[in-house]
Structure 1
């Protein structure tokens, strides 16, 4: 890797961190019940991320927008996401279509099967 690529990489990492912190500051402005649910959903989503997780950021930021809109319309949090927050989190994960460890495991399994079947 050339030195200017390394510098560009670290500049991008720094910019990404700044953007992430700005969005998380918005979460702290939400009502407490919204913060609790957001933090739990985020914790769930992070468990499935692969790599550095940066491909999850757009989805996380959209989730902040969604929560802000619900809060500004005074929608109770469990009415916004549903009583089963786990299902909401799982659906959010699928909607984000981010690169996840689950997706990578499925892809590797499909590759192994294809390879084994082609060998027969």
Structure 2
């Protein structure tokens, strides 16, 4: 049974890697300023991901679609996201509602507090 789970995991990992490469090839087709903003947002979001970062891939693919549409309509990237790219990225992070590193840190903190309080009762 374990071998089947490992095989399925590796198969999914390969598929995810192939999809990621396809998405990054699409990003390279966008105007330079779109690529710069995308990479900055991606780097920001990955700072807050938990585990292997897979929780951020679908939102990043959604952002890429948004950017492709904007570029196709010749909208400057900062007109799409606003002048404060950091604020846009933070808002996106909150909207994702993915399991993030912050959520994991808060969960662990709450567990430690409860454990410590319960031990001293």
Would you say same fold, with TM above 0.5? yes
Describe how 1:1-120 pairs up with structure 2 within 5 A. 2-116=2-116, 120=121
Tell me how far apart the structure 1 counterparts of residues 20 and 105 of structure 2 sit (CA, whole Å): 27
- Offset from partner CA, 1:19-78 (integer Å, 9 cap, x none): 111111111111110001001110111111110111111111101011111111111111
CA distance in 2, matches of 1:91, 1:114: 30
Between the aligned partners of 1:26 and 1:96, the Cα distance in structure 2 is 22
Gaps of 5+ in 1: none
Alpha-carbon distance in 2 for matches of 1:104, 1:41? 21
Q: Find runs of 4+ consecutive structure 1 residues off by over 6 angstroms.
A: none
Identify unmatched segments of 5+ residues in structure 2.
Answer: none
Q: Report how many aligned residue pairs link the two structures.
A: 120
TM-score, scaled relative to structure 2: 0.90
